[in-house]
Structures are given as C-alpha cells and as structure tokens.
Amino acid sequence: MAKQKTITLKRVVVTGLGALTPLGNTVADTWKNLLNGVSGAGPITKFDASGFKTRFACEVKGFDPLKYFDAKEARRLDLFAQYSIAAADEAYRDAGLDTAEFDKNRAGVIWASSVGGMPTMDEQMIDYAEHRGKPRFSPFLVPKIITDIAAGHISIRFGLHGINFCPVSACASSTNAVADAFNYIRLGMADIIVAGGAEGAICESSVGGFSAMKALSERNDDPQKASRPFDKDRDGFVMGEGAAGLILEEYEHAKARGAKIYAEMIGAGFGADAYHLTATHPEGLGAYLAMKNALEDAGITAEQVDYINMHATSTPVGDDSEIKSIVRLFGEDPKHLSVSATKSMTGHLLGAAGAIESLICVMAVKEDIIPPTINTENVGDEIHKGIDLTLGKARKKTVNVAMSNTFGFGGHCAIAAFEKYKG
C-alpha cells in the first residue's frame, strides 16, 4: 500500500501582471483608463459589420505584433495567440523572471481561451467558399485555431517545462486558469505559473452568432454608452477582446528571490447553475454556491470582503440574478461591501474576462481604489437597491479582500479571491 502523504497547503502570491485590453496595451494604461471611467467601445474595424445588427465592439487599439515577433511568425499566429504572448511577456518581465534564476521544470503555464482562433477559421472558410470549394487551407490552420495553443506558445517562449494546459469553461475559462494555477502551487506541484487568458474573437461568425442569440447590445448610435450594467435600458453585452496574465508564485519562493508582491491569492470557488445552456439561474444559484465555496476555501467570512468585481455583462437576466446571489450571501444592506462592473468599460472579453478582472481585483487590493461602473443612469426596478454599485466614479476605499466573479454559458461559475499582502 502506498504511503499516505500529509500535505500542508502553501501560500500563493501575485508577483507579476500583464494586460492588453480595449483600454490600453499595458497594465498601467488599462488601470488609468479604468479609474477615469473611459469606455473602450467604438465601431468595429476588423471586418465590414455594416450588415450586422450590432456594428460596434471594444477592440484593442494600436497593437503592433512586430514588437513581439517577426512578420513571418506573426502570420502563423491567430490574434488571440498574439495577444496572449504580449500580455504574458509584460507579466513575465514585471515579475523579474526574465533575469531571475529559477527551476524552469517547476514553472508552468495555465492559459485559457473560450473560442480560440475563430477569425482564422472565418478567413479560411470564406476563402474556401470564394474559390468554389477548392481546398486552399493553410498548414497552420489547426495550430492557429486550437484554444490550447497559446499556453504552448508561452511555454516555448520562456522555456517553461512545468504544468501546461488550457481550461475551457466559456466566459469563466481564465478564472479557472487562475484558480488551477493557485491550486497546483499551493499543493506543491509548481513554484511559478503564468496564468491568464486571451480572446480575439471580433469576427463575422462570433458577432453574428452572439447577435442571433440576442445577447449583444444594439445601441449602434451610442456605442460608448452601450454597456450599462444594472440600467433599466440595458439590452445586452458589448464584445471585447484582449488578454491578461498574472504570475502566481509560491510565497517562500518569491520571498527568497526578492520578488515584489502585489497581493496574496487566498481562495477559489466553483459552482454550476445546472439550469440552462445560456441563461443564468434566475436566483443566481451557481453564483451563490461558487462565492460561498470561495469564502470557505479562503477561510474568511462574507463580512471580510470589501470589493466584488461582478460578472455583470449588461444583460437583463444576468445582472439581476448575480445581484440576487450577492444579497443572499452578503445580506440586504452590506455596508462593508462595494461592487462594480468593469465590463461597462472593457466590454466582455469572453474567455479572457476572468483574467483581466482578477488583475483588476489585485490592483484594487494593492491601490485601495474601487474602479467604477459607468453608463448606469437609471438602476432597474428589479435590481436590489441595498448594494453599493460604485456608479460613475472610482472611489478610494481600503480593500483588504477582493473577489472576481465569472460565469459562462453552460452554467459554469468560478470565483477568485485576493487579499492585501501583509508579509
């Protein structure tokens, strides 16, 4: 019989951050624009959307792939993979890993995407149809479109031989990536993991598909005010794109190499609505269970949470059900708690949403600032009024604990919890 192991869970800290978003091509620019309440929305430029019901999105702006790879390599990478490498590169350098000595056999990558290379598939199938069914497919088609390929590219770029995979849980995907990294490190199976996610799916099939589901806002006359979480006139989400990465590291390992520490990750929680393919449970059951499990995992009470970055996509059903889940767990009038919906600025980054919103939670904990919810002019009658939605402007507030909520089609619910680093 195998000898039983006694496992002491290790502490996990965040030592590096990277971001490429509709609000900026670095963490600093993204954070500045978030705090200033800037919207990243505008007319779609990536394809001719004139015939679509929704003709706007939150696109990344001014991204130059040649800063990261030569033209030949860039052609072999779908946009989501290019974004992944850019965000991971910033996080890696921010953590000082580019100059540090560490065991690369114990350093890995867990990097998510929900849909992978949809633009590449669109491009190839349109070309196939235009040439009357004559096969002209690229030999790079498959490695460009598969969702796991970004994790592979990142590991190759930095020579990391440890844990390497891509979780897929729709819009909860990159929260699952961050949570998986947290768990592998605290179980002692890795010292460092590059965790995050990317999406570059502003293309014909993606916009068309979500539009056909009536999931997207159609406020074409005023895109910058289209994402309006909790508002009585909200009519759907605004699609976003980009990437974000966090360097998660075992505490003693980070301390030994003198790494700067942004925050400590203290818990993760999961649940499922088990209700509908695309709609959230009307009472937010999965969200409630996932948040409750995250608190239990972190060993804290609801009263200790200062900030929740809500999933809140600006859909009529989703925003209301998430608020209900918060009221159930935190109470009718939790005066200690602030929430905000930063998708009102970034748009919905699909599988990358959890990564950027985890990063936002880390920054809120570090800087003691709650980023705002913008565009909400008249809170819907169905939205519980006892929750501080941080409307309009960022607010200074001591943030000791922050949680990121993410939910995906299929009923997937995943939560990440972070705490102010105290040594």
How far is Cα 133 from Cα 127, in angstroms, rounded to an integer? 9
Q: What value does the mean pLDDT take over residues 124-137? A: 89
Residue of 135 and 285 predicted with greater confidence: 285
Beta carbons of 297 and 303 less than 8 angstroms apart: no
- Confidence category of residue 137, pLDDT binned at 50, 70, 90: very high
In whole angstroms, give the CA distance from residue 252 to residue 89. 23
Tell me: pLDDT of 131 over 90: no
Mean pLDDT value of segment 128-148:
92
Distance CA 23, CA 240 (A): 10
Nearest-angstrom CA–CA distance, 326 and 313: 16
Which of 127-131, 213-217, 300-304, 415-419 bottoms out in mean pLDDT, i.e. has the lowest? 127-131
Using the Cα atoms of residue 39, residue 18, residue 15 and residue 163 in order, give the sign of their dihedral.
positive
Instruction: Give the model's confidence band at 7: pLDDT under 50 very low, under 70 low, under 90 confident, else very high.
Output: confident
Could you confirm whether 311 is annotated as catalytic? yes
The model carries a pTM of 0.97
Instruction: Say which amino acid occupies 358.
Output: S
Helix (H) and strand (E) counts for the chain?
13, 14
Query: pLDDT digit string (tens) for 49-58?
Result: 999 999 999 9
Q: Are 280 and 405 in contact (CB under 8 A)?
A: no
Active-site residue 413, yes or no?
no
Question: Domains in the chain and their CATH numbers?
Answer: 12-256 (3.40.47.10), 267-420 (3.40.47.10)
Write the pLDDT tens digit of every residue in 307-325: 999 999 999 999 999 999 9
Whose tokens are 């490695």? That residue is: 143
Instruction: Report the alpha-carbon distance of residue 172 to residue 12 in Å, rounded.
Output: 21
CA-closest candidate to residue 163, choices 111, 86, 87:
111
CA-closest candidate to residue 96, choices 240, 260, 219, 217: 260
pLDDT in tens, 69-127: 999 999 999 999 999 999 999 999 999 999 999 999 999 999 999 999 999 999 999 99
The catalytic position among 311, 361, 412, 413 is 311
Query: Residue 253 above 80 pLDDT?
Result: yes
CA atoms of 184 and 24, how far apart (whole Å): 31
| Tokens read off for 146 | 């598969």
Sequence letter at residue 159: G
The DSSP-derived string for 143-190 is HHH-TTHHHHHHHHHHT--S-EE---BTBTHHHHHHHHHHHHHHTTS-
Residues of the chain with pLDDT > 90, as a percent, come to: 97
Look at residue 3 and tell me whether its pLDDT is greater than 80: no
Q: Is the CB of residue 247 less than 8 Å from the CB of residue 397?
A: no
Active-site option among 58, 166, 171, 203: 171
pLDDT for res 62: 97
Instruction: Using alpha carbons, list the distances in angstroms from residue 266 to 10, 112, 189, 294, 296.
Output: 10, 21, 17, 9, 10
Kindly state the average pLDDT of the residues 218-226: 98
pLDDT computed for residue 1 by the predictor: 61
Mean pLDDT of 42-48: 98
The whole-angstrom separation of Cα 49 and Cα 43 is: 9
How far the first Cα of the chain sits from its last, in Å, is: 40
Work out the percent of the chain whose per-residue pLDDT is above 70.
Answer: 99
Mean pLDDT of the chain: 97
Q: Which of 253, 348, 412, 413 is catalytic?
A: 348
